[in-house]
Amino acid sequence: MPKSSETVQQSGLDPATSRTLAALLGGESVPAAALGDAIRRLSVLVEVADTVSQRLSLDHQLPRLIELIAEALDAERATLFLHDADTAELFSRVAGGEGVSEIRIPQSAGIAGSVFDSGVGEIIHDAYRDMRFNPEVDRRTGYHTRNILCAPLRNRANQVIGVTQVLNKRLGPFSAADMTILNAIGRQAASALEQAQMVERLDRARREELELLAITEAISSELHLDTLLTRIVAAATQLLHAERTTLFIYDPSKDELWSRVAEGNEQREIRIPANAGIAGAAFVSGDVLNIPDAYADRRFNREIDRRSGFRTRNLLNVPVIDRAGERLGVVQVLNKRGGEFTHVDIRRLKAFSSGIAVALENAHLFSDVLALKNYNESILKSLSNGVVTLDRQSVIVKANEAAQRILGLSSEALVDRPAHQVFGSPNAWITRSLDFVERMAATDYHADTELKRPEGSTVSVNLTAAPFLDTEGKSIGYMLVFEDITREKRVRNTMARYVAKEVVDQLLASDEDVLEGSALVATVLFADIRRFSLMSESMTPHNTMSMLNEYFTEMVEVIFTRGGMLDKYIGDGLMAIFGAPIVGAADADNALYVANDMIHALGAFNAGRAQRGSEPIEIGIGLATGEVLAGSVGSSKRMEYT
């Protein structure tokens, strides 16, 4: 079993403290000064052990350990730096009047950085003679650094995890014994500091993840592209603590990157070739481009800064790539506040760009759906036929403007109401048609049916009731298509008295309202019976009317065969028009042919009369071609086309 003095000497304490403790344990007398110094250092080590055993955060541990180190080594100041691998920096926390503040330096900067890189402690007796020392810090703070003790901080795996730096020994220079004490404190504190740093890093990662998740959810819920772009730019700027952000979106139709930038109270669209500038280089290559000095990169366009008055220091460019690997654009963040963009910034922006890709896809999809909806709405609005869609419970979902006009009901009176309430008993045939479609899953058609409106008027419609199917052919409801044939019937009924059925069909096929007045060139045929007054005196009224009806029937048929229009009967005469309302190139010729055909038809008519013992009749026919005024004339209750 080793002696107590040997155990003390192997404890890792500085030689002076070890000798003092060994002498005490061996029963020797010890000078009071040496004993007091040994007790002070031991008490510091005990407090260091107590501090790190409490598992406090770095904000509490670092400032307290720094105080203890300065006290143990009888120095004016001390700093304990830990290494941040994410940013390649050394950092420390310092207690001040407004709380704990953080200081950071590059991991290889100054004497502390040199010791961190080498892993070997150093004693600097004259700081100003060491080229690694930065006197600018003293100049700014008004402090004067004389000497420095700097030792690496190692974990249990002997890896350097930081640096401890002590300034200005109060009495004399730093010694090897001081280095031993500093290393002993470092061994006591390293594991706890490393654990606290890991906990802090995990906590920071969790907070960053929650922040990123909240920001991503915020932009993912926005479907309007203009608003989405504004939110993305603001979120990226906030996320990376930068001054500005621009999101460039790729336009494959023009092979350009476009974005919207604020200009006063409005936004202006800018476009650049897809391979232009630093953003274009990042888009084409698909690589992250972290530019620490924008003006040193030849791809940077200084003209933009000159025009805007903005000064670009550094840029971080990350391509926006969707899940299929297709590049959608580039997010470009400008001017990291307080330094350059780090690996952490790159990681965060890459994660955020994935959310941007999803949000852009959703916005584009919404835009496409909205465009399709508007397109379909335009089609429905343009249709002359009324279209009513219903769900599977026969509740009306949509009714276009034509349907509202035909039914005489507003959209509010139709939408979200059951079909049986809308159509009711006056139009029960419509609900029966829907019942048929539901039972048979087939189309039902009703031609020329009267539909009663709420105010009492009626319209003639052709109705088609059919199942409403989705893209997979599954029924999702029903559809009613109303064709308003009221005008067609009015025209047909009116014109059938004057022209042949084929001419009526031509009139209905015309886009123009043929019953309106118009001036046109036409040929007028006039025919009457010669000596009709003398003939009628020898005939009974009944025989007179019978003879006229038989005669007109034969003559009108001849007129219709050549496309003529019967204008009117005038006693025993008739008047026909060729070229109104339908104008043809052979109107005058047809009128002449009809006159000739009427003579032949009259011969056959007289032959029949002769067989019945009736005297023959003679007619006179006149033709005239010129400009006429044709249209409907009369009152609102009764009008005739002439």
Lowest-confidence region among 158-167, 188-197, 423-432: 188-197
What pLDDT is attached to residue 73?
Answer: 86
- Band (592; pLDDT cuts 50, 70, 90): very high
Above 50 in pLDDT, residue 194? yes
Above 80 in pLDDT, residue 495? no
Q: 114: domain range?
A: 31-202
Q: Going by C-beta distance under 8 Å and a sequence separation of 6 or more, which residues neighbour residue 285?
A: none
Q: What is the CATH number of the domain that holds 458?
A: 3.30.450.20
Above 70 in pLDDT, residue 58? no
What pLDDT is attached to residue 2?
Answer: 47
pTM for this prediction:
0.48
Distance CA 117, CA 108 (A): 7
Is 635 found in the same domain as 601?
A: yes
Tokens coding 577: 């028009």
Above 80 in pLDDT, residue 92? yes
- Band (40; pLDDT cuts 50, 70, 90): low
Above 50 in pLDDT, residue 24? no
- Band (163; pLDDT cuts 50, 70, 90): very high
The answer to whether 180 and 13 are in contact (CB under 8 A) is yes
Lowest-confidence region among 203-212, 249-258, 432-441, 557-566: 203-212
Above 60 in pLDDT, residue 136? yes
Neighbouring-strand partners of residue 244: 334
Residue 378 lies in a domain: no
What pLDDT is attached to residue 37?
Answer: 57
Strands 386-390 and 327-336: unpaired
Lowest-confidence region among 83-97, 125-139, 299-313: 83-97
What pLDDT is attached to residue 4?
Answer: 42
- Band (641; pLDDT cuts 50, 70, 90): low
Above 90 in pLDDT, residue 520? no
Residue of 328 and 508 predicted with greater confidence = 328
Residue 375 lies in a domain: no
Residue 561 lies in a domain: yes
At which of 369, 401, 422 does a domain end? 369
- Band (5; pLDDT cuts 50, 70, 90): very low
Residue 456 lies in a domain: yes
Residue 209 lies in a domain: no
What pLDDT is attached to residue 188?
Answer: 75
Is 348 found in the same domain as 313?
A: yes
Above 90 in pLDDT, residue 484? no
Above 70 in pLDDT, residue 493? no
Q: What is the pLDDT of residues 306-345, one digit of tens each?
A: 888 889 899 999 998 888 888 888 999 999 987 888 888 8
Is 197 found in the same domain as 248?
A: no
Above 90 in pLDDT, residue 196? no
What pLDDT is attached to residue 9?
Answer: 43
Q: What is the pLDDT of residues 369-406, one digit of tens each?
A: 777 777 777 777 777 888 999 999 999 999 988 888 98
- The DSSP element (H or E) to which 440 belongs, if any, is helix 428-440
Per the rule left: phi > 0, alpha: psi between -120 and 50, beta: everything else, 408 is left
Is 420 found in the same domain as 359?
A: no
Is 256 found in the same domain as 287?
A: yes
Is 137 found in the same domain as 58?
A: yes
Q: Is 161 buried (19+), middle (13-18) or exposed (0-12) by CB count in 10 A? A: buried
- Band (46; pLDDT cuts 50, 70, 90): low
Highest-scoring range by mean pLDDT, 76-80, 149-153, 308-312: 149-153
Residue 21 lies in a domain: no
- Band (507; pLDDT cuts 50, 70, 90): low
What pLDDT is attached to residue 11?
Answer: 43
Give the number of other CB atoms < 10 A from CB of residue 166: 28
Residue 14 lies in a domain: no
Tell me the backbone φ, ψ of residue 552, rounded to 5 degrees.
-65, -35
Is 535 found in the same domain as 462?
A: no
Give the dihedral sign, CA 402/404/410/412. Answer: negative
Give the number of other CB atoms < 10 A from CB of residue 302: 10
At which of 171, 202, 233 does a domain end? 202
At which of 345, 369, 393 does a domain end? 369
Distance CA 460, CA 485 (A): 5
* Residues 267-292, mean pLDDT to the nearest whole number: 89
- Band (42; pLDDT cuts 50, 70, 90): low
What pLDDT is attached to residue 10?
Answer: 42
Residue 598 lies in a domain: yes
Distance CA 458, CA 69 (A): 101
Q: What is the mean pLDDT of the chain?
A: 80
Residue of 275 and 584 predicted with greater confidence = 275
What pLDDT is attached to residue 263?
Answer: 52
Neighbouring-strand partners of residue 251: 256
Strands 315-321 and 327-336: antiparallel
Is 55 found in the same domain as 163?
A: yes
How many structural domains comprise the chain?
A: 4
Is 39 found in the same domain as 178?
A: yes
Above 60 in pLDDT, residue 591? yes
Is 55 found in the same domain as 184?
A: yes
Q: What is the length of the chain?
A: 642
Is 387 found in the same domain as 364?
A: no
Q: What is the pLDDT of residues 223-270, one digit of tens each?
A: 667 777 778 888 888 888 888 888 898 898 999 998 877 655 667 788
- Band (117; pLDDT cuts 50, 70, 90): very high
Is 168 found in the same domain as 271?
A: no
What pLDDT is attached to residue 543?
Answer: 87
- % the chain with pLDDT above 70: 80
Q: What is the CATH number of the domain that holds 330?
A: 3.30.450.40
What pLDDT is attached to residue 512?
Answer: 52
What pLDDT is attached to residue 390?
Answer: 92
What pLDDT is attached to residue 113?
Answer: 93
Q: Going by C-beta distance under 8 Å and a sequence separation of 6 or more, which residues neighbour residue 347?
A: none
